[in-house]
Amino acid sequence: MKIRHKILIVDDERHIRRLIRAALERADYAIVEAENASEAIERLGEERPDIVLLDLGLPDRDGLELVPLVKQKSEATLIVVSARDATDEKVAALDLGADDYLTKPFDTDELLARVRVALRNRLTRDGGNLAVTVGDVKLDLVARRVTKGGKEVHLTPKEYAVLAQLARFPGRVITHKQLMDEVWPREHEHHVEYLRVLIRTLRQKLEADPQQPQIIGNELGIGYRLRLGTEGSGE
């Protein structure tokens, strides 16, 4: 099963949300909606979207005020989608932290192109990889697709999140805290045993011999890494 990229649409006009939702769902994105600023902040924390499409004309708060809040509370890429076409409005939104600005009315093909570019930029902004192959396991971070021996591997969203973190920087140790912050961000107390169970499940799905793992290595007491070779084993 492919884990889909999640997009939050923030717009008070239902017909606009429907138009955007239909275009994005046809492109196989997972969609969350909010019709005002309060809902947007709530969805942002609950859903952790990859991209936020933000209208500036919201009923309870000006969208420009929301731009820095979104950037503070989330790592999502923020694309403003607004009828405000004045240059000073665009400059203000971008100066406040928006990553892109699309003016209404818009062509849905252009919207989809902006989303694809945003996702690529999101994946590469820290210098990480977009695709990784380790043995017969292949991970495409853009398509969010994992295969083993050419066959698609079913992963839960949490399993995929951990594997994607490791795959972006293969060979680098990713600490327990970094991985748990990615998978269980709202829990005040992290239990490393949850992560160990998840890693064991991943190894069952990906490794030729889960008892002698060659793909996901363990750095005792520190974290895990995606191996580039076949050095050692690990818990």
Domains along the sequence of the chain with CATH: 6-124 (3.40.50.2300), 131-226 (1.10.10.10)
Digit-coded pLDDT (tens) for 40-99: 999 998 888 999 999 999 999 999 999 999 999 888 999 999 999 898 899 999 999 999
Indicate if the pLDDT at residue 126 is higher than 80.
no
Report the mean per-residue pLDDT for the chain.
88
Q: How confident is the model at residue 127 (pLDDT cuts 50, 70, 90)?
A: low
| Residue linked to tokens 């083993």 | 148
Pull the structure tokens for residue 233. Answer: 């084993």
Q: In this predicted structure, what is the pLDDT of residue 142?
A: 79
Indicate if the pLDDT at residue 177 is higher than 60.
yes
Preceding amide of 49 cis, omega within 30? no
Is residue 5 within 8 A of residue 25, CB to CB? The reply is no
What's the CA gap between 190 and 184, in Å, rounded? Answer: 8
Q: In this predicted structure, what is the pLDDT of residue 232?
A: 37
Digit-coded pLDDT (tens) for 155-175: 998 999 899 889 888 888 888
Q: In this predicted structure, what is the pLDDT of residue 230?
A: 42
Mean pLDDT of 167-194: 80
Residues 6 or more apart whose Cβ sits within 8 Å of residue 214:
135, 207, 208, 227, 230, 233
CA nearest to 67, candidates 86, 95, 88: 95
Q: What is the C-alpha radius of gyration for the chain, rounded to an integer number of angstroms?
A: 20
Q: In this predicted structure, what is the pLDDT of residue 3?
A: 66
Q: How confident is the model at residue 235 (pLDDT cuts 50, 70, 90)?
A: very low
Q: In this predicted structure, what is the pLDDT of residue 1?
A: 46
